[in-house]
Structure 1
Amino acid sequence: MPATPSAPRPIALVTGAGRTRGIGAAIARDLAAHGFDIAFTHWSAYDARMPWGAQPDAASAITADITAAGARALSLEADLADPDTPHRLITQTTRHLGPVTALVMAHCESVDSAIDTTTPESFDRHMAVNARAAWLLIRAFARAFPGPHGTGRIIALTSDHTAHNLPYGASKGALDRITLAAARELAHLGVCANVVNPGPVDTGWMSPELAERMRAATPLGRLGTPADCANLVTFLCSPQGGWINGQLLHSNGGLAP
């Protein structure tokens, strides 16, 4: 008797998976372990100008982790400040892996500055990467979404940062509204859209002093891990997470406001 063909694996596009210890990479790995094929984006020019620096072997290492989980992987270098990039990402993923059913936006531009020290150029770049790219990704995803109704997922990662991180906080606020609007505007497609605030997760950007303050402000007495966020995202992408829609979820260990 011939074997029954297995159902095709769903396809997830995860943006912002440029470092092996980052949240985006953890999400890509966990979704792969739970049945998704994965396309992921990275932008080495951003990491190179940040304090942690570029990790040249990250894309190949993340690809190896995904394929070790039995999934197909597609690594895409992508500058999300370019308004043509979102459509290209959806098109390339569809061409190489298949139609995207889960869009997870973990990318960001994040350069600290305050009201008095932010430049118009920095503000515009934060808005382009964190807000405009999210809108264009959601639009491209929706236009190409294959169904069936109720299977689509959009998840964006956000933050509470505002003071002394003005352009980042402002652009993340815009990201929240854009993503939550998708829960209503894409209702005809049956796409669930949610925002996740992962709380204090140290992926290499925290000073020791900040890390200690965050631990002290969290009832569990620890920082979050990328896996903590990935676990929630994977649940939201699963059939069991399909009744959660239009929400901003705080997965932060009870961090004090």
Structure 2
Amino acid sequence: MTRPVVLVTGVGRRVGIGAGLATRLAHDGWDVATSHWTPYDERMPWGPQPHDPDDVHAGLRAAGARTVAVPADLSDPAVPARLFETVEAELGPVTALVLSHAESVDSSILDTTVESFDRHVAVNARASWLLVAEFSRRFRAVPGSGRIVALTSDHTVHNLPYGASKGALDRIVLAAARELQEQRITANVVNPGPVDTGWMDDDLRASCLERNPLGRMGTPADTANLVAFLLSEQGGWINGQLLFSDGGWKA
């Protein structure tokens, strides 16, 4: 049988949530296209991981998936359309879109720069809108099989541009659940809570462990379990929801 194609954005590091999503979906029978942007990692505390995209894709191929990794600067409004063009040329039409990319640089109300705010909105909100729109325009699968899932966060304190742009992302994706109803595409948002992929220090990690009722940190696999279900046939009745997959963190 022909494997359906999923596009997962933000798969730049092996330890990231995006890589966990892509790997799970490959094992579930999807062909997997990914996007990444190494210059973003160069600005982050963990630094560039130039070999990680290739390592992730070796694992996807080992799981039986056809796959392509596309460098994509999502701050450029022309990139979402080009990304879909590349993926379709390599793998065929996309049946599911998973938005796992993010610009996330901590700053507060009084010290956020206009440049930083605009970059966060461009990557987290505008690019997500353009990707959703492009997905809809190009969607050719059976009505009812299309899926959109986006990862979000409710972190806002001392993380103003990230939190504000993620709030906009939520509204864009939830609107798609209604606006794309002619194609029967489902659209949901998942908040995975704190998942340590290299951005936590020891104090923050200890605080998160103490606060979580299940007594452990979330993992990319935890998020992937829910996303995989939402993309499955069994998950097709869940639509227009913002779901928490955080072990009770928000309780």
CA contact (8 A) 1:197 1:252 kept: yes
Structure 1: segments with no counterpart, 5+ residues: 1-6
| Aligned residues between the structures | 251
What is aligned with 1:48?
Answer: 42
Residue 147 of structure 1 contacts residue 189 of structure 1 at CA under 8 Å; is this kept in 2?
Answer: no
Aligned to 2:197: 203
Match for residue 186 of structure 1 among 174, 177, 180:
180
Structure 2 residue identity aligned to 1:130: N
Q: CA deviation at 1:220?
A: 0.2
- The yes-or-no answer on 1:97 pairing with 2:91 is yes
Structure-2 residue corresponding to 1:121:
115
Give SS of 1:107's match: coil
- 1:8: which partner in 2? 2
Aligned amino acid, residue 208 of structure 2: M
Q: 1:156 aligns to what?
A: 150
1:67-89 CA distance string (max 9 Å, x none): 00001110100000000111111
AA aligned to 2:235 is: G
**Residue 147 (structure 1) shift:** 2.3
Q: Distance in 1 between matches of 2:81 and 2:225?
A: 28
Could you tell me which residue of structure 1 aligns to residue 62 of structure 2?
Answer: 68
Tell me what 1:38 maps to.
32
Of residues 11, 21, 33 in structure 2, which corresponds to 1:27?
Answer: 21
1:232 match: 226
Q: What code does the residue aligned with 2:63 have?
A: A
Opposite residue 140 of structure 2, the aligned amino acid is P
SS for the counterpart of 1:128 is helix
Q: Percent identity at matched positions?
A: 62
3-state DSSP of counterpart to 1:204: coil
**Structure-2 residue corresponding to 1:87:** 81
> Which amino acid in the other structure matches residue 179 of structure 2?
E
**How far off its partner does 1:223 sit?**
0.5
**Aligned residue in 2 for 1:4:** none
CA distance in 1, matches of 2:71, 2:112: 27
Change in Cα spacing, 1:256 to 1:187, as seen in structure 2 (3 Å) is: closer
Distance apart, 1:148 and its partner CA: 0.6
Counterpart residue type for residue 145 of structure 2: T
| Residue 135 (1) aligns with residue 129 (2) | yes
C-alpha deviation, 1:56, in angstroms = 1.1
TM-score by length of structure 1 reads 0.97
Structure 1 equivalent of residue 245 of structure 2:
251
Give 1:256 deviation, angstroms. 3.8
1:242 partner SS: helix
Secondary structure of 1:96 counterpart:
helix
For structure 1, which segment, 125-134 or 82-91, has the greater mean C-alpha deviation from structure 2 after superposition? 82-91
TM-score after normalising by structure 2 = 0.99
Equivalent position amino acid for 1:189 in 2:
Q
**Do the aligned partners of 1:217 and 1:256 also contact (CA within 8 Å) in 2?**
no
Which runs of 4 or more aligned residues in structure 1 lie more than 4 Å from their structure 2 counterparts after TM superposition?
Answer: none
SS at match of 1:74: strand
Residue 205 of structure 1 deviates from its aligned partner by 0.3
